[in-house]
Structure 1
Amino acid sequence: MPELTISPEKVGFLIEKAREFDVKEETVDPDSGSNGADDDMIDVLEDDGRDPVVREIAGFIDALSEDEQVDLIALMRLGRGDGTIEEWPELWREAARGHRGHNTASYLLGEPMLGDLLAEGLDELGLLPGGEGTTPIH
């Protein structure tokens, strides 16, 4: 079984935050003058480019060590089905090669359903993400 540098608790935190980000949708009414209380706070689900969750995720990922960031990329790819647990060393090497000179947070946030993919990757490794609400969605 592969050894991860990043803790399942850290991955669990990212899973929760990524799922918060994944529910965002395009802004429908950019000039809405309505009060949030009047429209049931629906505007909070619109991605207007100034999302504090994105800043929180990016700051968290940027603060990780390089090996932890590579673990995240490899976990996401494992969860996406790019390889199997037996191919983990190659997945990790590819993630490390692709990581050099790139912004890991931007790369990962560009992946649809990132939270679910990370959860699936952990599940493949037989690990729990460290929180009750962070199980893979099947």
Structure 2
Amino acid sequence: MQRKLDKDWDLTIGPDTVRIFIEKAKAISAAVNEDYEDGQDHEVEFDGNGRDNHHHDGLAEEEVENLTEEELRELINDLNVDEAAELVALAWIGRGDYEAAEWTDAVTAAKERGNKRTAKYLMGMPMLGDWLEEGLEAIGA
């Protein structure tokens, strides 16, 4: 059983705020079609009369997904330098790059990498929601 660490730091970013990021990141991950293999052709079935019966139902879904992505991107971009560094550090801890006891080192490294492309960097992580959740759990927040 893992022992929770004594909390010897204060988060600039609130755990509830991080949980909002987690929910949005998981919603984006859930929207990805997991059975799609990049670069492969997929069969297209026609009903025989040569008409397209699709009616573009998928466009609304794409807009919703893009809104979720845009919301998450804007939320991350609205963070100050300390909050953004802590969010990156939480993801790194959750991913296993750092241990919870190395919190200060993780935050310092995140600040050194800069804040200009934090949203793009974080949103490029395929399991961002899970890693943030694991990072929060690891530090006992």
Paired residue for 1:59, among 63, 74, 77?
74
Bigger drift between 112-121 and 50-59 goes to: 50-59
- For residue 12 of structure 2, what is the aligned residue in structure 1? 5
Per-residue deviation, 1:34: 3.6
> Considering only CA atoms, is the larger Rg found in Structure 1 or Structure 2?
2
Q: When the two structures are superposed, what TM-score results if normalisation uses the length of structure 1?
A: 0.74
Distance 1:81 1:97 in 2: 19
Name the residue aligned to 2:117: 103
The secondary structure found in structure 1 opposite 2:112 is helix
Matched length: 118
Distance 2:53 2:131 in 1: 34
Structure 1 portions without partners, runs of 5+: 128-138
Q: Which structure 2 segments of 5+ residues have no match?
A: 1-6, 37-41, 45-51
Identity of aligned residues (%): 35
Per the alignment, residue 126 of structure 1 pairs with: 140
Report the RMSD for the aligned CA atoms in angstroms.
2.7
Take 2:85 and 2:114, find their aligned partners in 1: how far apart are those partners?
Answer: 7
Q: Deviations over 1:15-62 (max 9, x none)?
A: 000001112326878x982464xxxx7x73x6x8x7111110011111
Q: How big is the shift at 1:105?
A: 0.6
